[in-house]
Amino acid sequence: MILLEQAKYVVRAADRVEQDVDVLIDGSRISRIGSIDRRTLPEDTIVVSCRGRAVIPGLINAHTHLYQSLLKGRRDDLPLVEWCERVTFPFVRAVLDRAWRAGDTEIGAMWSALATIEMLRGGITTFVDMDMNLDGVIRTWLELGIRGVAAMTMVDQWVPPEMMLSPEATREETLSLIETWHRVPSPDPLITVFLGPSAPFTCSPALLRWITDQAKRFDLGIQIHVSETAWEVDHSLETTGMTPLDYLASEGLLERPVTAVHAVHLTEEEIQLAADRDVVIVHNPKSNMKLGSGIAPIGAMRSAGIPVALGTDGAASNDLLDLFEEMRTAALLQKVATEDPTALGACDVFRFATEFGALACRIDAGRLDEGKLADCVVIDLGGAHLFRLTDEIVPALVYCAKTSDVETVIVNGRIVVRDRVLQTGDERTLLNEIKRVGNRYV
């Protein structure tokens, strides 16, 4: 058992904060929140003092591409196509050649470790990785103790042929991923398998139909980029006569629970369609800003009742896997886009990064309630930047908290960060190893 003792604030959810209480974790679940006498607990209970601190649900990064962490902080002064040609494509080609085809499997473990360290240290307990599933990727998540959703990327058109697997290889790999990691009950509760058709324009109708069939057969979630750019909408109208989400509906994909990533350029009709089909949208404000893609109509989505989760996207277009910054950027961006400072508030975006994130990942977390998965984060409130004269804690967390305030992180009932130190690996050694291996690819 783990006792989080005497928290100044327990943020069970954006709209439910308790003060001066304890949180008890038993196994992988939250067992009790309230006043708990430690003398009634087993002797080997781990006690974490949370005096003056806030305990919050682990943050959920509902969309990212882990491999891009090896491309952090690379040039930003190139237009998109040139940047792809000079920065991301060479790396992807190197990975495909050396790792996928020639079996140098260390690299997947390396980018997974790099992204996982950044996320855990920043209070992120769950993420969705839309990527190819190289050997070593998921094993690293398990070793470091983060909850991951593996959304196997699938494409069979538009992308340069040397940058994709053959349709047969894609299907084989996908079925193998499902076979290994997706069982009910799961072989490891940390891992969830999703299907990840990359985008409407990169998947043929045949592939989309195959994906829908597998999703039905195995009860899998689907994550797909939709309407990220105005170009994509024009291209869809030209090639299919439909807007992207309409097109996906026409091909049957929306018969299954789908999380639609970006959704920057949805029409009003598509927003209604998304609401009718229980689509969850994943908003990635910093990525949409950096790539100049546009501003998603979050207000209209929320008015239609669509749950909106939050993602950092990959580090090549952000460049941080930092949901505190992402939360405040989401709020600020809607306020300026609508010229209405009340457009999207702190409690809304906190919910995006927690409850709606859990919905997007199909996991039983995102709130601190008895019986929920024990994914939680202890925030040190002592920094000058977090100074408060009132108890309005959620706005303070959203607008002022930083990843450096994350003190302790618990995933699935396991302490993975304590007093800002990773408990499941030696951070310094890992970073040196990542640099050594990464240099073979850049």
- Per the CB < 8 A criterion, the answer to whether 222 and 253 are in contact is yes
Of 136, 58, 97, 84, which is closest to residue 379 (Cα–Cα)?
58
Helix (H, G, I), strand (E, B) or coil at 82: helix
Q: Which two tokens stand for residue 273?
A: 């369609």
Exposed/middle/buried for residue 421 (C-beta within 10 Å: 0-12, 13-18, 19+): exposed
Helix (H, G, I), strand (E, B) or coil at 309: strand
Residue 425 makes contact with a second copy by CB under 8 A: no
Q: Which of 154, 190, 301, 434 binds a second copy (CB under 8 A)?
A: 434
The footprint of a second copy on residues 275-294 (CB under 8 A) is: 286, 288-294
Q: Which of 39, 42, 339, 429 binds a second copy (CB under 8 A)?
A: 339
Q: Considering beta carbons, is residue 38 or 385 the nearer one to a second copy? A: 385
How many Å separate Cα 328 from the centre of its chain?
16
Residue span binding a second copy (CB under 8 A) among the ranges 29-37, 66-74, 161-169, 170-178: 66-74
Q: Which two tokens stand for residue 281?
A: 């949208």
CB of 241 to a second copy, least distance (A): 25
Q: Considering beta carbons, is residue 181 or 352 the nearer one to a second copy? A: 352
Q: How many CB atoms lie within 10 A of CB 280?
A: 23
Residue span binding a second copy (CB under 8 A) among the ranges 95-103, 237-245, 276-284, 430-438: 430-438
Of 231, 264, 230, 227, which is closest to residue 246 (Cα–Cα)?
227
Residue 129 makes contact with a second copy by CB under 8 A: no
- Per the CB < 8 A criterion, the answer to whether 357 and 192 are in contact is no
Q: Considering beta carbons, is residue 157 or 338 the nearer one to a second copy? A: 338
- Per the CB < 8 A criterion, the answer to whether 410 and 25 are in contact is yes
CB of 53 to a second copy, least distance (A): 15
Q: Considering beta carbons, is residue 109 or 178 the nearer one to a second copy? A: 109
- Per the CB < 8 A criterion, the answer to whether 403 and 58 are in contact is no
The footprint of a second copy on residues 171-200 (CB under 8 A) is: none
Q: Which of 20, 38, 78, 162 binds a second copy (CB under 8 A)?
A: 78
Q: Which of 136, 145, 200, 438 binds a second copy (CB under 8 A)?
A: 438
Task: Write the DSSP symbol of residue 97.
Answer: I
The footprint of a second copy on residues 11-50 (CB under 8 A) is: none
Q: Which two tokens stand for residue 260?
A: 């639609």
Residue 400 makes contact with a second copy by CB under 8 A: yes
Q: Which of 72, 182, 302, 362 binds a second copy (CB under 8 A)?
A: 72
The footprint of a second copy on residues 225-244 (CB under 8 A) is: 230
How many Å separate Cα 68 from the centre of its chain?
14
Q: Considering beta carbons, is residue 275 or 400 the nearer one to a second copy? A: 400
Q: Which of 31, 347, 369, 433 binds a second copy (CB under 8 A)?
A: 347
Of 286, 251, 288, 287, which is closest to residue 266 (Cα–Cα)?
288
Q: Which two tokens stand for residue 293?
A: 């893609």
- Per the CB < 8 A criterion, the answer to whether 54 and 381 are in contact is yes
Q: Which of 332, 362, 418, 433 binds a second copy (CB under 8 A)?
A: 332
**Count, residues near a second copy per rule CB under 8 A:** 75
Q: Which of 232, 313, 322, 380 binds a second copy (CB under 8 A)?
A: 322
